[in-house]
């Protein structure tokens, strides 16, 4: 059900711009160039973990100058109050048999690290040629699982951020920059 229908309501939750559009695009151009150097001559599959990474994937794939294929997956972490580590379930799986590919997981943000620390071993069981993780944002101060991405474009402090694919109650994914969410004006449903 739609929750935000006016521009005023939308804008009042945008506290401040943390990473502007130019900085995001410049970092993606550098990451794309590095991936293009590293994977030349290799069968490459970019795997986007939905929904948050779809904007990043769209720009990153266009900064990569090699032939590559794309696939999508939805994975969710489930926690209960007595456990610090949760369970990860694949809600939508890949179409590709990844055993013939070098896989790059494209992620929006690594926060506690729980999701990817469980998902990567599940994908490795399918015997890909290699698996690496590139994330747009990394919040290392929040880590509760032993996991670090292979490439991170920006390290950010412990703030709830929105924009460039990252949502709050499904809104704000379409901002072309990364912003801090204003919790003083109310909290979104999934914080
Ligand atoms: P974790 O690393 O804790 O397993 O989970 C990462 C997921 O939590 C991300 O893919 C993202 O969906 C969500 N997440 C973590 N931090 C933030 C944040 O600051 N803003 C938004 N919108 N989502 C976040």
pLDDT tens digits for range 22-36: 999 999 999 999 999
pLDDT tens digits for range 85-114: 678 999 999 999 999 999 999 999 999 999
Residue 174 lies in a domain: no
Residue 115 lies in a domain: yes
CA-nearest residue for atom 23, ligand 1, is 166
Cα–Cα distance between 40 and 37 in angstroms, integer? 6
Check which CATH number belongs to the domain holding 44 and give it. 3.40.50.2020
Whole-prediction pTM: 0.94
Residue 93 lies in a domain: yes
* Domain limits for position 46: 21-158
Q: Cβ–Cβ contacts within 10 Å for residue 12, how many?
A: 14
* Rounded distance from Cα 68 to ligand 1 centre (Å): 26
Q: Is 111 part of the annotated catalytic residue set?
A: yes
Q: Which of 59, 108, 111, 138 is catalytic?
A: 111
pLDDT of residue 84: 52
* Cβ of 135 less than 6 Å from ligand 1: no
* Cβ of 114 less than 6 Å from ligand 1: yes
Query: Pick from 109, 131, 135, 113: which is nearest to 122 by CA?
Result: 131
């Amino acid at each position: 059900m739609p929750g935000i229908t006016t521009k005023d309501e939308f804008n009042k939750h945008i506290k401040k711009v943390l990473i502007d559009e130019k900085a995001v695009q410049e970092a993606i151009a550098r990451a794309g160039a590095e991936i293009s150097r590293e994977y030349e001559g290799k069968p490459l599959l970019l795997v986007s973990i939905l929904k948050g990474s779809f904007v990043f994937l769209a720009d990153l794939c266009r900064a990569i100058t090699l032939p590559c294929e794309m696939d999508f997956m939805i994975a969710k972490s489930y926690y209960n109050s007595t456990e610090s580590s949760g369970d990860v379930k694949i809600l939508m799986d890949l179409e590709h048999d990844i055993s013939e590919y070098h896989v790059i997981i494209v992620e929006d943000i690594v926060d506690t690290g729980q999701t990817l620390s469980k998902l990567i071993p599940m994908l490795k069981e399918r015997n890909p040629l290699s698996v690496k993780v590139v994330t747009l944002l990394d919040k290392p101060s929040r880590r509760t699982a032993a996991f670090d991405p292979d490439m991170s474009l920006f390290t950010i402090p412990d703030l709830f951020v929105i924009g460039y694919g990252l949502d709050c109650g499904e809104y704000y994914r379409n901002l072309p920059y990364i912003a801090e969410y204003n919790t003083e004006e109310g909290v979104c449903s999934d914080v």
